[in-house]
């Protein structure tokens, strides 16, 4: 497998090594072997990045010169297009993306989302006039000005790194903020390329900084606790998100959190192609490593045995059509790491101990290679109080739960600490919409509608997060409101 070039830090306008020349190994999910090296940032490197971002925001015209930043964001977008083959390589080698998944979530969708940000940016309102009001014997005119919040610490995960990095970095830059991007240690290259291409584009020093290290917590902790950082934008687990909110409270820092999910797909009894709807719920895309995947399948109790037969046939038909690095038709590769593999396998064992029935899969597949391969897995005879139905597994594991009627389906879907995404299928559109409106989740697909795209907001209810990413709302998350009133 191709060795990746060493990932460099980008601090204060300079591509460079970490202090003392420290590096760490990047392990490839397909092989479990070293596929590259990355600079291992120290506390001093992170400190320099924060200082640079603070200075660039406070002392340059980045926050006020809209034409400058839009022009540079467009130039950076063009450079990413020119380096698309490298993006594909990074998604495959670092993140373990199968070729068939690269375009759908890793690269093409990320670049399309970038274009969406540029399309919706003119819709952002920078001023809101509230008119005049009489009071205290005189007239006041009131106007709100919407201004960039300041320095943004963007902390991103390893599952779809380019998509999330674009979602965070581009929104913050367009809003007029300066940024410190901290990608996950599993996928440093997909963060480092932002620094490399920003350097080529001619970004002012300090506007965009990229730091990463072998310790996933050290740099993140510094960003979260430093009072010079005004906003933390984090995508990752709910547990880490809670810690960020707690630590950020010390400086009353604004936090945007896109966290975990245990989303439900509800197939009602009148779905026009019930078998197809069930079969399409196989959790195989990118080995189930997505926060918004529909990992709970809810079906009518009256059709539960039929559902089991459909899934048994679907999973058998899927067979070994996964885990091939060079097959452009495949959408499933390995999970990201040995740690994640152990976690997923532990949940599979737990599901059996809880009394669920393993309908398909359930095993590691060393025959696929020396990397981290787990076969597509589905549990039936699941109740919603089981841990495999309540906790985010983040792997290719689907659980199937029966419901009695529409009210019961809504109850089960909402009986979760999460509320990120979901789906409803029915032959009656109004019935499907009625169910969808009652589910407490940030986005939901009705009859296959696409509820995730770069021009619309994305985020969660409950333990799935705070705030919205993408769309105009994603840019406006990075703005403060200043109200000015004057006597007339």
State yes or no: is 305 an active-site residue.
Answer: no
Q: Which two tokens stand for residue 281?
A: 């719920």
Q: Which two tokens stand for residue 356?
A: 């669920």
Please give the Cα distance from 292 to 183 (Å, whole number).
20
Helix %, strand %, coil % of the chain (to 5): 40, 25, 35
* 466: Cβ contacts below 8 Å, ≥ 6 apart: 245, 255, 256, 257, 459
DSSP string, 417-473: SEES-EEEE-S-HHHHHHHHHHS--S--EETT-----TTS-B--EETTEES-BSHHH
Catalytic residue among 94, 177, 277, 291: 291
DSSP string, 345-367: HHHHHHHHHHT-EEEE--SB-GG
Query: E strand or H helix at 110, and its extent?
Result: helix 108-120
346: exposed, middle or buried (Cβ count in 10 Å: 0-12, 13-18, 19+): exposed
Catalytic residue among 94, 258, 392, 477: 258
State yes or no: is 291 an active-site residue.
Answer: yes
Please give the Cα distance from 74 to 118 (Å, whole number).
8
Please give the Cα distance from 485 to 145 (Å, whole number).
11
137: exposed, middle or buried (Cβ count in 10 Å: 0-12, 13-18, 19+): exposed
**CA geometry: angle at 35 spanning 29 and 37, to 5°?**
120
Please give the Cα distance from 46 to 219 (Å, whole number).
6
Please give the Cα distance from 384 to 400 (Å, whole number).
9
**CA geometry: angle at 352 spanning 346 and 354, to 5°?**
100
Task: Give CA separation, 53 vs 40, 63, 88, 150, 178, in Å.
Answer: 20, 12, 29, 9, 6
* Catalytic residue IDs: 258, 291
């Amino acid at each position: 497998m191709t060795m990746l070039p060493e990932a460099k830090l980008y601090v204060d306008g300079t591509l460079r090594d970490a202090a003392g020349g420290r590096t760490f190994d990047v392990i490839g999910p397909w092989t479990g072997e070293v596929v590259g090296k990355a600079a291992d940032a120290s506390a001093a490197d992170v400190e320099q990045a924060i200082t640079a971002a603070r200075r660039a925001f406070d002392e340059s015209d980045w926050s006020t010169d809209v034409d400058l930043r839009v022009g540079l964001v467009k130039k950076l977008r063009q450079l990413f297009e020119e380096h698309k083959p490298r993006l594909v390589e990074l998604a495959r080698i670092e993140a373990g993306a199968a070729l068939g998944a690269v375009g759908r979530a890793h690269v093409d969708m990320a670049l399309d989302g970038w274009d969406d940000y540029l399309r919706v940016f003119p819709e952002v309102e920078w001023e809101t006039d509230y008119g005049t009001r009489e009071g205290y014997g005189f007239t006041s005119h009131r106007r709100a000005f919407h201004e960039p919040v300041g320095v943004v610490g963007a902390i991103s995960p390893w599952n779809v790194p380019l998509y999330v990095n674009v979602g965070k970095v581009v929104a913050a830059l367009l809003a007029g903020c300066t940024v410190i991007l901290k990608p996950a240690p599993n996928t440093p290259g997909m963060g480092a390329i932002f620094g490399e291409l920003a350097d080529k584009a001619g970004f002012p020093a300090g506007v965009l900084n990229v730091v990463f290290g072998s310790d996933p917590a050290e740099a993140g902790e510094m960003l979260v606790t430093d009072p010079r950082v005004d906003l933390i934008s984090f995508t990752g687990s709910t547990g880490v998100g809670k810690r960020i909110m707690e630590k950020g409270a010390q400086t009353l820092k604004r936090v945007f959190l896109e966290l975990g999910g245990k989303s439900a797909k509800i197939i009602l009894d009148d779905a026009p192609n019930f078998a197809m709807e069930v079969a399409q719920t196989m959790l195989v895309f990118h080995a189930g490593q997505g926060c918004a995947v529909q990992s709970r399948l809810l079906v009518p109790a009256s059709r539960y045995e039929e559902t089991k037969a459909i899934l048994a046939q679907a999973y058998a038909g899927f067979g070994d059509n996964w885990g091939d690095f060079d097959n452009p038709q495949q959408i499933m590769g390995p999970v990201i790491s040995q740690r994640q593999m152990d976690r997923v396998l532990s949940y599979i064992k737990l599901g059996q101990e809880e009394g669920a029935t393993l309908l398909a899969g359930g095993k590691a597949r060393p025959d696929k290679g020396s990397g981290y391969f787990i076969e597509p897995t589905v549990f039936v005879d699941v109740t919603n109080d089981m841990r495999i139905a309540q906790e985010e597994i983040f792997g290719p594991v689907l659980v199937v739960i029966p419901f009695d009627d529409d009210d019961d389906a809504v109850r089960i879907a909402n009986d979760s600490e999460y509320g990120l995404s979901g789906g409803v299928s029915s032959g009656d559109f109004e019935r499907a919409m009625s169910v969808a409106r009652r589910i407490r989740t940030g986005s939901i697909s009705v009859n296959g509608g696409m509820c995730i795209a770069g021009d619309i907001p994305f985020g969660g209810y409950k333990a799935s997060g705070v705030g919205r990413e993408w769309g105009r709302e994603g840019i406006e998350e990075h703005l403060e409101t200043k109200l000015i009133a004057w006597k007339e």
